[in-house]
Amino acid sequence: MTLACRKLSPHPQSPAREDTGPWLVWLHGLLGSGQDWLPVAELCGDIPSLLIDLPGHGNSVSLTTGGFEDISRQLTETLQANGIREYWLAGYSLGGRIAMYHACFGNPVGLQGLLVEGGNLGLESDALREARFQQDCQWAQRFRQEPLPQVLADWYQQEVFADLAPQQREQLVAVRANNHGPAVAEMLEATSLGHQPWLLPALQRLSVPYTYLCGERDHKFQQLARQYTLPLRTLARAGHNAHRANPGAFAAQVLSFLSQSSYLSFTR
């Protein structure tokens, strides 16, 4: 079953064309939707974009997935259904983890490159994976049983969101409260870090270019990028959700990466 998505055509004066590609395909984080990427995608308007709603989110709220292998297959089917033969894959947080899995272990025919924002590479031991799965199951139980604003108020107190001001937390709670709690819970369990393979070795063998985008105030993922020598691009005035905090700088980094990775050769 294909995922809900929205197409953005390139600007009329752009040398890029939908029928020749490549496209920018955007994957959002947990609790988000494809619409989260709209400000950035519009700033990359010379390139056609596909904004995907992941299972349990947005217009895919009624869809489920069995895990990383399954969602990678759903992504492939969605690209095929939309006639996308060549594409760059960009993902934030959960979307970044799915993007990395797809590039490393899926069927990434036509993949031109990978852009990951604040995506976790995984956990290196069975014990760590089991502990994380139990933690995610506890969150999932709360998403199923409690009012969403109540759960989200605690969700955004997690360390990775430490850079957020109180008003920013309140705004995110208000926006994300439109989700369906049980659907979020299913997705959280299916794509837990406890189920994700350790991706670093496969990432290091990728035959396509990739980059790792991270807000300058996202200390956890800045440290991760440096620890494993990832190809880091830092976004000013931003924390974990850098594309939301600074879409202009994010789009500039995306376009820079595409240009440096010979994107222009596809549009001449």
pLDDT for position 266: 46
pLDDT mean values, one per 10 residues, the chain (268 residues): 93 58 95 98 96 98 97 98 97 98 96 97 96 98 97 94 92 96 98 97 95 94 95 94 95 95 50
CA distance 163 to 160: 8
pLDDT for position 217: 92
The span from the first CA to the last CA of the chain, in angstroms, equals 35
156, 123, 241, 116: CA torsion to nearest 10 = -160
pLDDT for position 13: 59
pLDDT for position 17: 52
Residue 237: Cβ within 10 Å count: 12
CA distance 35 to 224: 28
Question: How confident is the model over 194-249, as pLDDT tens digits?
Answer: 999 999 999 999 999 999 999 999 999 999 999 999 999 999 989 999 999 999 99
pLDDT for position 137: 98
pTM of the model: 0.94
Q: Which tokens belong to 251?
A: 């789009």
Phi, psi of 90 (to 5 degrees): -120, 135
CA distance 12 to 192: 41
Question: How confident is the model over 162-179, as pLDDT tens digits?
Answer: 889 999 999 999 999 999
